[in-house]
Amino acid sequence: MNKHQYVAIMAGGIGSRFWPKSRVGYPKQFLDILNTGKTLIQWTYERFGSFIPEENIYIVTSEEYTHIVKEQLPGIKDENILSEPSRKNTAPCIAWISYKLLQKDPEASLIIAPSDHLITDNESFRNICLKALDFVTQIKAFVTLGITPTYPNTGYGYIQHDALAVADNIYKVKTFTEKPNLEIAKSFLASGDFLWNAGIFVWQVKNIIKAFEQFQPEMFEVFEADKEHFNTSQEQEAIERIYPLCTNISIDYAVMEKADNVYVIPSSFGWSDLGTWNSAYENLEKDYLGNAVAGKNVVVIDATNSMISVPENKVVVLQGLDDFIVVDTSDVLLICKKEKEQDIKQYVAEVKRNIGDDYL
């Protein structure tokens, strides 16, 4: 393993589209969504641990989840957990880990990755990550991993790349596009030069900090002013000063869409962002009627093509449902058509408005 290679796993989101299982106090990255015996963050940590030194793996999370990270990753050191005082999207936390690593290792190369994605082909993933890490040490480049699309998904962002590779399976990025409508997604798929944006980035930290200086000078200045406190006992206190001054912005908007040295590696490693109950349904085993059942005591009668997730100790009988999401917890029951899953955020907002925050 290369001592100059690091990974920052982002684990601060609330996973609202997996409500009511995913709650503000215990979101989906800390759940065993697919009944594998491990939570999503545990799988992600283990995956990177196969080729990144364990002491070089960092978790960036909200301070309210720090205790959960310690429970689920008992081997991780306290100094490898970055506890954000507030949610400010991905750019501020990437600036934080980049400054922290630059103070420690000026030659550091860094992978940024979400904590809650599914990857089934770990060997391919490892090889692509190592290729990206090698590329960014040779060229001042920002690399993103793009997923070869298999259908016109309207829930993902897309990356368009040049036709000619600059190296083996590495292409210069032309455009980033946010979630398109179905017709545009179909045209992207037909063109052959668009990929799904997996939100996984690779670069040298010295170069991303230069990009912050160029494209986000205000954020750069607040981190620069306190940089001597990183990796000291004053670090968290410095972050408490810095975060209120940071813009709430994603790294895509802050840097990637502005920089002219962004490259993409088209990838196929069994990826899903597990962003919705439908994506969980697609990745779970189904019975002969097409139902994906998570729960030991579920009786299904004339129900088909449904996603069913219920507590282990509860007997649930379902009859006559087709293409439904059924999620039961100790205090909330959700029943909705699978085709309406993108509206779950609205349902959560409705619960908040009419009942309050206790069930969020």
Residues 58 and 183 in one domain: yes
Residues 233 and 327 in one domain: no
Counted domains in the chain: 2
Q: What is the pLDDT of residue 1?
A: 82
CA distance 156 to 184: 12
Preceding omega of 20 cis (within 30 degrees of 0):
yes
Residues 264 and 283 in one domain: no
150: number of CA atoms within 13 Å, CB side?
6
Residues 253 and 281 in one domain: no
Cβ atoms 311, 332 nearer than 8 A: no
CA distance 307 to 278: 7
Last residue of a domain, one of 250, 272, 294: 272
Cβ atoms 14, 26 nearer than 8 A: no
pLDDT per residue over 190-219, tens digit each?
Answer: 888 899 999 999 999 999 999 999 999 999
Residues 312 and 266 in one domain: no
Residues 218 and 294 in one domain: no
Q: What percent of the chain has a predicted confidence (pLDDT) above 70?
A: 100
Residues 347 and 219 in one domain: no
- Domain residue limits at 191: 5-272
CATH, residue 103 = 3.90.550.10
pTM above 0.95, yes or no: no
Q: What is the pLDDT of residue 308?
A: 94
Residues 20 and 102 in one domain: yes
Cβ atoms 325, 280 nearer than 8 A: no
Residues 260 and 189 in one domain: yes
Average confidence score pLDDT of the chain: 93
Q: Amino acid identity of 181?
A: N
Residues 267 and 282 in one domain: no
Last residue of a domain, one of 253, 272, 291: 272
